[in-house]
Chains A and B, each alone.
Chain A
Amino acid sequence: MINLSFPFTEEKIRALNVRDEVALSGVVFTGRDAVHKYLHEGGRLPPGVSLRDGILYHCGPVVLKDEQGDWKVTAAGPTTSIREEPYQAQIIKDFGIRGVIGKGGMGDRTLAACKEFGCAYLHAVGGAAQVLAECIRKVRAVYFLEKFGSPEAIWELEVEDFPAVVTMDSKGHSLHREIFATSQAELAKHL
């Protein structure tokens, strides 16, 4: 297990390899379909918000306000990342993102962007909404809540020991591609 904590420097990210298990601590920003489309079309982040050297989490969390009026994340599993494939490479480049958390992996364009700009894809366990919500220590802020609605908004979250597996690194390796090839070859032997 590799402790990956803030600041997420290019050096730390470039040291990661496919199959590494990481425990992530620091700030992550959620972003899913609406945010990706918006940023890709040239939309700006709110003043004072920067994703440079930041981590983007493909997640539409369930967030409620508690009695004190504070936000509380009650479920926060990853959503399927491949839907963002048309946008991701450009966003990694333009906004200087160092890590993308999601599930299911991404395609060749994102893999190439990871290599060129120093980014890694971190696979969280799909469906583990409760375990992952426990890792979220604090909701620091929310942006575009009115514009996109709660699941699609950008939530700025403080996480501690958030578990994920590197499945696409900055060296051009993709665990998804590798396993597809080996399982396909294995299947051919069983037909």
Chain B
Amino acid sequence: MNALQDSLIELIRRTSAEIPDDVRQAILDSLEREKKGTIAESAMKIIERNIALAKQKSQPICQDTGSILFYVDSPVGMDQMRFEDTACLAVKKATKLGYLRQNSVDSLTGINDGTNVGPGSPTFHFHQQRSDRINVRLVLKGGGCENVGAQYSLPNEKLKANRDLDGCRKAILDAVLQAQGRGCGPGILGVCIGGDRATGYEFSKRQFLRLIPDRNPVPELDTLEQDILKTANDLGIGPMGFGGRTTLLGVKICAINRLPASFFVSISYMCWAYRRLGVTLDAEGKIAGWLY
């Protein structure tokens, strides 16, 4: 079981210190796009330098190493409880090694025991697959951006948002407007249309497993994604809310069924420090390849 633990520690180290290639490319593209000599350009330059420095020093990109979210595709019959125990040990060790900040607080007592392990931390999402490999994806999501997530229940009179795609669009753009200056933009939106309150947010976060340049296979959603991205960047909010051309780096939307009585639009916001990596493990738990 030690091979698995070592693999997970390495996954945590790299996820905390290294931005995935697709995100880095999106950041470089937006740095190009910003007007030269503006404070937006300066902010993007600092972000770019920070990414390089963190990787070089193998130190956390941002000091808020975030909520620890594991997404695991496992072979039929894999012992999930054993996997969870091993992953918790890996998290504890990674915290001791400084890859993760002591970042998890007991909500009743306010005590931070410094391990990052406790009820709900880390979080596991298991899915079975017909293969003997295990895919483990890890997302570290900071608190500043989590705080600007929003859930809208349609219809919304104030926004004049009905229960249709145009209503969804209004809700999502309102969330972008309200999030400005907070949550360390430029950001990436993960959106879920439908579901109940809990699954809505869960599916919205799952969108962060997608690659930034990918395209949505559902034509209506693809159109909506491109439209929100363009419109948000036309608002002039810019990096850090300083004003500028890049407000968002990407928009990812999914739709799931809802009850006739409910129509939720759930929006999760990811900061520029978008930490998401994954590994494929062989039968012994060794890293066979990287997923991003």
A contact residues vs B (CB 8 Å cutoff): 19, 21, 60-62, 64, 74-77, 80, 82, 103-105, 123, 125-131, 134, 163, 165, 167, 175-176, 179-180, 182-184, 186-187, 190-191
* Contact between chains at A130 and B50 (CB < 8 Å): yes
How many angstroms between the C-alpha atoms of A176 and B142 in the bound complex? 22
- Of B179-187, B204-212, B216-224, B276-284, the stretch lying at the interface with chain A is B179-187
Residues of A within 8 A of B170 (CB): 191
* Contact between chains at B46 and A163 (CB < 8 Å): yes
B104 to chain A, nearest CB (A): 14
Closest to A129 in B: B63
B contact residues vs A (CB 8 Å cutoff): 39, 42-43, 46-47, 49-50, 53-54, 57, 59-64, 98, 101, 142, 144, 147, 160, 170, 173, 177, 180-182, 184, 231, 234-238, 240-243, 271-273
* Contact between chains at B60 and A129 (CB < 8 Å): yes
- Show 9 A/B contacts (Cβ-Cβ < 8 Å), sorted by A: A77-B63, A103-B240, A128-B47, A128-B50, A129-B50, A131-B53, A165-B240, A183-B177, A186-B236
Contact partner, A165, options B39, B49, B177, B180, Cβ 8 Å = B39
* Contact between chains at B234 and A179 (CB < 8 Å): no
* Contact between chains at A183 and B237 (CB < 8 Å): yes
How many angstroms between the C-alpha atoms of A65 and B231 in the bound complex? 48
* Contact between chains at B39 and A19 (CB < 8 Å): yes
* Contact between chains at A187 and B173 (CB < 8 Å): yes
Contact partner, B144, options A126, A163, A176, Cβ 8 Å = A126
Contact partner, A127, options B42, B181, B184, B237, Cβ 8 Å = B184
With A125-B46, A126-B271, A165-B42 as contacts: A183 and B236 at CB distance below 8 Å: yes
- 7 further A-B contacts with Cβ under 8 Å, apart from A75-B101, A126-B271, A179-B242, are A77-B63, A125-B50, A128-B47, A163-B42, A180-B180, A186-B234, A191-B173
With A75-B63, A76-B63, A186-B234 as contacts: A128 and B46 at CB distance below 8 Å: yes
Contact partner, B42, options A21, A61, A130, A190, Cβ 8 Å = A21
Residues of B within 8 A of A167 (CB): 242
How many angstroms between the C-alpha atoms of A165 and B45 in the bound complex? 14
Closest to B166 in A: A191
